[in-house]
Structure 1
Amino acid sequence: MHDSVATAVELENSFSPFSNANFCRYEPVLKRIDHAKVLIVNDLLRYASDLSPLAFTDWKGSIESKLRFERKVSSLACNNIAENVIRLVKNPKTLTVHLSEVEAAAERFQPDAIVMSGTFADFDYYNAKHLGDFHKFIRETKIPVLAICGAHQLVAVSFGAELKTLDDLELAEKRNDRLVEYQYRFVKIVDPTDPIFAGHDDGSSRRWQEYTNKDDIIRVWQNHGVQVDGVPAGFKLLASSYLCRNQMMVKRNEGQLIYSVQFHLEKSFEDWSKNPTRWEHVNESRDGRVLFENFLKLALAHNAA
């Protein structure tokens, strides 16, 4: 048994120039933020009223099954976001609403920050009015926003960018069997000076993995077959990967603070909560959590400025 384990470790180490330890030194997850009101936006499809005419044509005979799947995914996605807020904030308040309700909900709830979930279907299957209303809202809001995966793409489109598959095809050219970026992957930080990465190389603070300290790399969960083509005007590229250049960007002008990420930083506490004991803190869970915490701090500071 020990020989087989040693062989597996040797094989794993041969694929990376950095340490491949599958654990981290124990780091308690402390609630460093006193309070935060976070509006969580479900960006997936729920009902037939959320669909475009194209969806009714292309999905004829399978609309209800597709909507059931979208509702199931939305529950998991929004719960993961809420778990991050609850575990990082001493006095958290959250409200979850659908994409079509975001403007009215933001006015009513007055959140400190908005965090938007991922998506599954292409946007040409969405009700055009819902998209149009969001495009207007995101271009005008002064509430700090964190947009995740499909929401990253939705924000980019709202500011004039285009979307492509990972092999540079138009989305309508290849609806199924797309090349995907999946599971935990390395992402290169392009601008390590951005405050969202605070502590990534501070040994007296957050002790990230060896690959991060040596080469400004984070390890995060990926699950997407669509990418933002370029960087929209007004945004700055923050991180990139082999398959997808725009992994992370920020808009910090005109009174706005919008961070959008292609990867799923919100999965951090989903993985953390699955550990058999609190001492088993797998390395994948840490990077996304630190970014999420930094975003909340930056959102509060932005509002106070």
Structure 2
Amino acid sequence: MRTLKILVINNYGQFCHLIHRAVRDLDMDTGIIPNTTPVEDILDREPDGLILSGGPTMERAGKCSEYLESIDIPILGICLGHQVIARTFGGEVRQGSSGGYADVEIEIVDEDDILKGLGPRTHVWASHADEVSVLPEDFIRLARSSVCEIEAMKHSERPIYGVQWHPEVAHTEKGEQLLTNFFKVCEEY
């Protein structure tokens, strides 16, 4: 796989720098940019893909909805990024029944592009303080768990993906595989 440019959008989550490091360690050209960066400035950098990081609250998600609506490249949302995707496209987010970070067993419902090689079950590190509760129209559910029905999803036509869990942390099984799968989507797009 050639070296791609993957920009990490900083939503002020505690793992943003770990996402950046994981992407860099997989030999991609990467950088962290504030979620207040104008769309034109992102496009000027000619990225092959965007990763919307986790973060504390929807109110701190900056221009992420604008990026989703106007930038036509593959986008992966992690935790808050996943929730922003859902809200932007008409889904719903609610407070989860189990907050705090914990090991969660995920059931892969549809391996699709980014979950290829992860199924049928895998263990991940996730917080469910907030979670996607209603799948947006035009989205396909990719994974579920006993605590959340929408652990991962993708847009039915555009290369937009969301995962509730953190593939960048050591506690997540096959996190590198998920990122590598996303890079393959970026390369082929």
TM-score, normalized by the shorter chain, greater than 0.5: yes
1:224 to partner: Cα distance: 2.9
- 1:241 maps to a residue whose letter is S
Q: Using a 3 Å threshold, how does the CA distance of structure 1 residues 224 and 87 change in structure 2: closer, same or farther? A: same
- 2:68 maps to a residue whose letter is I
Q: Does 1:291 align with 2:189?
A: no
Gaps of 5+ in 2: none
Percent identity between the aligned chains?
28
- Rounded to whole Å, the distance in 1 between the matches of 2:7 and 2:67 is 14
Q: Using a 3 Å threshold, how does the CA distance of structure 1 residues 82 and 242 change in structure 2: closer, same or farther? A: same
1:285 to partner: Cα distance: 4.6
Q: 3-state SS of the aligned residue for 1:265?
A: coil
Q: 3-state SS of the aligned residue for 1:142?
A: coil
- 1:39 maps to a residue whose letter is L
Q: 1:103 aligns with which of 36, 39, 48?
A: 39
- 1:125-179 CA-to-partner distances (Å, cap 9, x unmatched) read 448xx4xx43233123211001000111111111111211124xxxxxxxxxxx3
Q: 1:259 aligns with which of 136, 155, 161?
A: 161
- Confirm or deny: 8 A CA contact 2:107 2:144 kept in the other structure: yes
- Rounded to whole Å, the distance in 2 between the matches of 1:102 and 1:220 is 33
Gaps of 5+ in 1: 1-32, 45-69, 168-178, 201-211, 272-283
- 1:108 maps to a residue whose letter is D
- Rounded to whole Å, the distance in 2 between the matches of 1:140 and 1:247 is 25
- Rounded to whole Å, the distance in 1 between the matches of 2:89 and 2:129 is 21
Q: 1:198 aligns with which of 116, 120, 131?
A: 116
Structure possessing the higher radius of gyration over alpha carbons: 1
- 2:115 maps to a residue whose letter is F
Q: 3-state SS of the aligned residue for 2:135?
A: coil
- Confirm or deny: 8 A CA contact 2:48 2:186 kept in the other structure: yes
- 2:5 maps to a residue whose letter is K
- Rounded to whole Å, the distance in 2 between the matches of 1:222 and 1:95 is 24
Q: Does 1:157 align with 2:87?
A: yes
Map residues 56-205 of structure 1 onto 2, 5 A cutoff: 73=14, 77-89=15-27, 92-101=28-37, 103-121=39-57, 123=58, 125-126=59-60, 130=62, 133-167=63-97, 179-180=98-99, 182-192=101-111, 194-200=112-118
By percentage of residues, which structure has more strand?
2
- Confirm or deny: 8 A CA contact 1:41 1:102 kept in the other structure: no
- 2:44 maps to a residue whose letter is R
* CA-based RMSD: 1.9
- 2:55 maps to a residue whose letter is T
Q: 2:188 is matched with which residue? A: 301
- Confirm or deny: 8 A CA contact 2:122 2:173 kept in the other structure: no
- Confirm or deny: 8 A CA contact 1:181 1:243 kept in the other structure: no
TM-score under structure 1 normalisation?
Answer: 0.58
TM-score under structure 2 normalisation?
Answer: 0.90
